[in-house]
Structure 1
């Protein structure tokens, strides 16, 4: 039988043991969060991430419209929430990395535009405000693009423009998807926007073909992108389209463009994103 003194010692030991375990658990949590957090180590990675915000702007718009249409393919509601979180995480990483005053000021503008977009995305969608949604997300995309362009101009890496342009193909894929989804609400009012994005698509492909003409791996991806360009060029005037087909095609295009962007970053640095 334990004495009162022995009980007190055992009780104190258990308290100490519990506190040690608690502190270990907190350290593990912090360590896991640090591993999961985005960390930018160089300009090319910054260009890659800043450029991804252009894509996310249109991806969120696409998912927002799909949720409003009660479309459950690929769970757009869950994907929307995930992309919103990723956007904010990317902004935090960029804010931590950027030291240049001009770029930092542009990132503040991205934050402001994001607040507007976030308020919209967290509100119930209305069909009559379809073009307003497009305008809001376009402003966010263009504001993020300006930050990406500034990072590209001030980068010392020779391939920064190629990384920027390859990253732009990601945004183009999701802009095409979003515009097709908006077609069901805004009818022909999205035509001028589609013409603009297809022109941007063509120009981006032409630039990358010249810049990466000696890169065998990049040329394979660009060949695939050329097929996507022809596909959507033919679909541009189609009166009827299948949303799932568009989503599948643009998602594959997004994956290829993202792989190309990451490949170009890793080729010039010791590690990717």
Structure 2
């Protein structure tokens, strides 16, 4: 009887230890989920580039590489044994991603591009919510701003994906309306960051955001002009999109360093 009690006590002890560890998210969880949001839109953009036989930046290679990154990040977050609610949300993102990944890694098909974009948009919206929940779970208010900066990257790639979709000849009657919506979302996020307390978003981060904005404006003009003229230049746009994306990643690293 005593051995049974002892065994039960040991089991309860390990359960208690697990529950203590499975409480809050860490900065790394926020980083990886925020990156997943960005990479999902970038992958969609690369899918269209491959479909158009655009070779600048080697989008075919990026598709494979970035899909692996998303898989690794999801595996990492799940291995951290977050609390039940967070873990459930992360697994839902993983479920959505698994279906999208299969389509992304197939030979690009223009006829399925709209449906694929629809699936990616659903996942990304949920991804943003999960990233915010992870940020809140850390107890560090500055993690919210990490998510916001990642959202700038996501919106820039979202604009890129929309542009490439239209350049590929995919019928989208709402192109100009959606371009305007993305630009507004980008500016709203940007303004929130620029108006944030400098204890959370440093002067240096704000300076870099303002510098990056000059390049995003170029993207905005190119996307809006193409919608009016019907003239698209995928390689030129990809060059500008990647420049903005890389700048935002540098800003993200600076903010993450400041947060830590």
Question: Which has the greater radius of gyration?
Answer: 1
The structural deviation recorded for 1:173 is 1.8
Assess if the C-alpha contact under 8 Å between 2:31 and 2:146 holds in 1.
Answer: yes
Q: Is it true that 1:167 corresponds to 2:130 in the alignment? A: no
Partner of 1:231: 218
CA deviations on 1:197-228 (whole Å, 9 max, x unpaired) are 21110111100101155723112211123213
- Structure 1 distance, partners of 2:81, 2:213, is 35
Structure 2: give runs of 5+ residues left out of the alignment.
1-23
The structural deviation recorded for 1:99 is 1.4
In the alignment of these two chains, the number of paired residues is 229
Structure 1 residues 67 and 94: CA distance shift in structure 2, 3 A: same
The more displaced of 100-109 and 215-224 is 215-224
Structure 1: give runs of 5+ residues left out of the alignment.
1-40
**How do 1:87-236 residues align onto structure 2 when only pairs under 5 Å count?**
87-184=70-167, 185-189=169-173, 190-211=175-196, 213=198, 215-236=202-223
Structure 1 residues 143 and 42: CA distance shift in structure 2, 3 A: closer
Structure 1 residues 175 and 83: CA distance shift in structure 2, 3 A: same
Cα RMSD of the aligned pairs, angstroms, is 1.9
- Structure 1 distance, partners of 2:190, 2:258, is 20
The structural deviation recorded for 1:252 is 1.4
The structural deviation recorded for 1:193 is 2.8
Structure 1 residues 225 and 156: CA distance shift in structure 2, 3 A: same
Partner of 1:51: 34
Assess if the C-alpha contact under 8 Å between 1:201 and 1:229 holds in 2.
Answer: no
Assess if the C-alpha contact under 8 Å between 2:222 and 2:237 holds in 1.
Answer: no
- Structure 2 distance, partners of 1:243, 1:183, is 10
- Structure 2 distance, partners of 1:132, 1:96, is 31
Q: Is it true that 1:266 corresponds to 2:257 in the alignment? A: yes
